[in-house]
Amino acid sequence: MSRSSIGWAEAKDQCISVSNADSSAAQRICGKEGDNMFTGGVGKDVTIEFFGPTEDKLMPNFKVYYQLKDENTDTVNPAECNVIPGPPTNQDQSFTVAKSGDTIPADLTCTWNIATSGGKNIRVGLNVDGTKTEKQCVAVANADKTGATVICGKEQNNAFTSGGQGVVIVYPGSRTANTQQSNFKIHYQFDVATKSVLSTMIFVECMLFAMYGQD
């Protein structure tokens, strides 16, 4: 992640060009709100370029900030957003949207990135408790932003399974302006069910072959 400083009148003219090292996702960022940050691709280096003023004038010196972004955290989240307790395992883990309290602030939005290992699928789910949870929703997608969907706390629509990669989870804020939503948990773990079923099928086939496959 790279960003340019904000806070001076001249900052809007303090700009750099940033891209992944392979020249993809090129972007120009400047010292002004909403246009001061770039996040590089996963596992890619970044290239930063500064081009001096085209006119014959001096520009105040400025700083360019950068830091490594952890796959299992999101350092640009507001402080009220909760953090992921740890990388996924075969056991269920969970975290609430808001770090504390029974309600989520109306204007709070949060993003979490959960990395996988060994190409394992990650399952993300929400609790279901009738009408109490059906409006508790998050957007979920694979780490490469494919397969994006919205899951909510209601039957048949409360889970997402990644396709052999990490997941991105987004809580987009309350759907009704100036209202607070009850805080709720997001569950995640490696999707072991598919592998368990596959192993059982292989075992059964082997047993059948042993019983009937010989003349």
Q: How many CB atoms lie within 10 A of CB 132?
A: 12
Residue 193 — very low, low, confident or very high, per pLDDT cuts 50/70/90?
Answer: low
The answer to whether the Cα torsion of 66, 68, 70, 71 is positive or negative is: positive
Q: List pLDDT tens digits, range 136-165.
A: 999 999 998 899 999 999 988 999 999 999
The answer on pLDDT for 60 being more than 80 is yes
Spell 180-203 as b/e; 16+ CB within 10 A means b. bbebbbbebbbbeeeeeeeeeeee
**The CATH number fitting domain 93-190, selected from 2.40.30.20, 3.40.50.300, 2.40.128.50, 2.60.120.380:** 2.60.120.380
d(CA 124, CA 161): 6
Percent of the chain with pLDDT over 70: 75
Taking the C-alpha atoms of residue 34 and residue 15, their distance in angstroms, rounded to an integer, is: 13
pLDDT at 177: 56
Q: Provide the mean pLDDT of the chain.
A: 80
Query: How far is CA 202 from each of CA 99, 121, 196, 197, 206, rounded to the nearest angstrom?
Result: 44, 20, 10, 9, 6
pLDDT at 208 over 60: no
- pLDDT range class, residue 111, cuts 50, 70, 90: very high
The residue ranges of every structural domain in the chain are: 2-68, 93-190
Distance CA 31, CA 50 (A): 13
- Whether pTM exceeds 0.85: no
What is the arithmetic mean of pLDDT over 51-64? 80
Mean pLDDT of 80-86: 92
- Helix ranges (DSSP H) in the chain: 192-212
**pLDDT at site 44:** 72
